[in-house]
């Protein structure tokens, strides 16, 4: 039984007892305020839903597509923040304490948030690490931003659509166990979301095929595309944000400039959230375009907009990459941005 269901049962019992007391003390014809008490119970019970807490906005969006209106979905990592270093406010402890299940990326992405969740969650509330259940240690990718000697693998699995399908499957499994009455709804939403991912995957491959093979290389501010690159045959030639989130050294910058010149790519990519004068310098000295609008986990638009979704985020990034590297993004642009279930999640801004 979910925490919400237990609260509902306790509330019903309390109201039932209160109703008996009111009836005994009321008018002989049964009039009085017993009726209003019954109406209140119905209202509260109808509004009571399982509480699903998530971390970064892409995961919040994925969960919302599976859960729909059957649960309250609450994200706790504000969009546009560095999720690696984000430390939640103490007020986040309250919503974590109310959670029936907590979905995080894992792979050490949200260490401070996970610690707060472990300290405040109810004993029977599960913390589900989606990334850690999607890849095994022998599939971890280590790179410039996530060196193996530091023991933290690249955690950005959500930029690789086939892995997001697994995220959705895990969410469906856990929600069906938590809320068996909603199992058919979750399964139907998973099927629709999976079909949407397959359509997106096909559009990506069509668009990427128009990029000259020699240009399918990425130098980014932050290496969020390692698993994507393996899946779609791209090469990550570097990332300027090193593991301690400081700027690279002068030697590292010089090495990256040399890599870009040798690779012959037409563009390097920065982040809209984290402007990088160093990456701009690399682009200028290497004689290539600097495109500074990529988003790692900051969904486009505002909550409620069609593009404010995981698929909206990924389409934006892949259209940007395709066009900057000399390809035709028409197949991606023609993709409909439609959530398969109502997204009523709470996204902190």
pLDDT the model gives residue 29: 39
Token pair in block for residue 7: 């609260």
Residues 175, 257: one domain? no
Residues 281, 193: one domain? no
Does residue 184 belong to any structural domain of this protein?
A: yes
pLDDT the model gives residue 31: 35
Residues 220, 190: one domain? no
32: left (phi over 0), alpha (psi -120 to 50) or beta: left
Residues 102, 61: one domain? yes
Residues 177, 219: one domain? no
Does residue 300 belong to any structural domain of this protein?
A: yes
pLDDT the model gives residue 5: 55
Which 3-state string (H, E, C) describes 314-332?
HHHHHHHHHHHCCCCCHHH
Residues 218, 305: one domain? yes
Q: DSSP letter for 80, please.
A: T
Domain span at 266: 204-333
For residue 300, give the CATH number of its domain.
Answer: 3.40.50.1980
Does residue 150 belong to any structural domain of this protein?
A: no
Residues 123, 105: one domain? yes
CB of 341 closer than 8 Å to CB of 309: no
Which residues make Cβ contacts (< 8 Å) with residue 123, sequence separation at least 6? none
Residue 25 sits at the vertex; the CA angle it makes with 19 and 28, to the nearest 5 degrees, is 105
CB of 98 closer than 8 Å to CB of 121: no
Pairing of strands 51-54, 72-75: parallel
pLDDT the model gives residue 88: 83
Residues 82, 218: one domain? no
Q: DSSP letter for 70, please.
A: G
Does residue 14 belong to any structural domain of this protein?
A: yes
Residues 88, 186: one domain? yes
Mean pLDDT by 10 residues, the chain (349 residues): 51 36 37 33 50 96 97 92 78 94 95 93 97 96 86 94 98 98 98 98 98 94 92 91 68 88 92 82 93 91 93 97 98 94 92
Does residue 344 belong to any structural domain of this protein?
A: no
Residues 172, 311: one domain? no
Residues 262, 165: one domain? no
Residues 128, 14: one domain? no
pLDDT the model gives residue 241: 66
- What is the tally of structural domains in the chain? 3
Does residue 88 belong to any structural domain of this protein?
A: yes
Burial class (CB in 10 A: 0-12, 13-18, 19+), 286: buried
pLDDT the model gives residue 278: 87
pLDDT the model gives residue 1: 57
pLDDT the model gives residue 10: 37
């Amino acid at each position: 039984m979910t925490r919400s269901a237990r609260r509902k049962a306790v509330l019903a019992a309390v109201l039932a007892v209160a109703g008996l007391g009111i009836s005994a003390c009321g008018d002989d014809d049964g009039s009085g305020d017993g009726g209003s008490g019954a109406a209140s119970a119905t209202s509260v019970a109808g509004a009571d839903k399982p509480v699903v807490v998530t971390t970064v906005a892409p995961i919040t969006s994925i969960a919302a597509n599976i859960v729909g209106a059957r649960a309250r979905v609450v994200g706790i990592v504000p969009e546009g923040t560095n999720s690696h270093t984000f430390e939640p406010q103490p007020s986040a402890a309250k919503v974590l304490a109310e959670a029936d299940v907590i979905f995080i990326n894992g792979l050490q992405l949200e260490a401070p948030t996970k610690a707060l969740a472990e300290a405040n969650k109810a004993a029977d509330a599960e913390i589900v690490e989606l990334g850690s259940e999607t890849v095994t240690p022998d599939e971890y990718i280590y790179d410039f931003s996530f060196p193996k000697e530091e023991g933290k693998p690249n955690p950005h699995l959500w930029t690789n659509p086939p892995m997001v399908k697994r995220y959705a499957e895990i969410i469906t499994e856990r929600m069906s166990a938590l809320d068996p009455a909603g199992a058919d709804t979750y399964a139907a939403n998973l099927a629709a979301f999976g079909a949407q991912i397959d359509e997106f995957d096909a559009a990506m491959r069509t668009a990427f095929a128009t990029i000259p093979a020699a240009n399918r290389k990425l130098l980014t501010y932050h290496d969020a595309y390692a698993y994507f690159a393996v899946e779609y045959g791209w090469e990550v030639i570097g990332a300027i944000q090193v593991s301690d989130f400081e700027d690279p050294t002068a030697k590292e910058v010089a090495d990256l400039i040399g890599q870009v010149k040798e690779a012959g790519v037409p563009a390097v990519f920065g982040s809209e959230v984290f402007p990088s004068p160093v990456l701009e310098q690399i682009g200028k000295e290497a004689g290539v375009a600097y495109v500074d609008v990529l988003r790692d986990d900051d969904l486009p638009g505002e909550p409620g907009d069609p593009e404010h979704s995981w698929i909206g985020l990924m389409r934006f990034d892949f259209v940007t990459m395709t066009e900057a590297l000399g390809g035709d993004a028409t197949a991606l642009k023609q993709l409909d941005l439609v959530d398969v279930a109502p997204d009523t999640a709470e996204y902190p801004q």
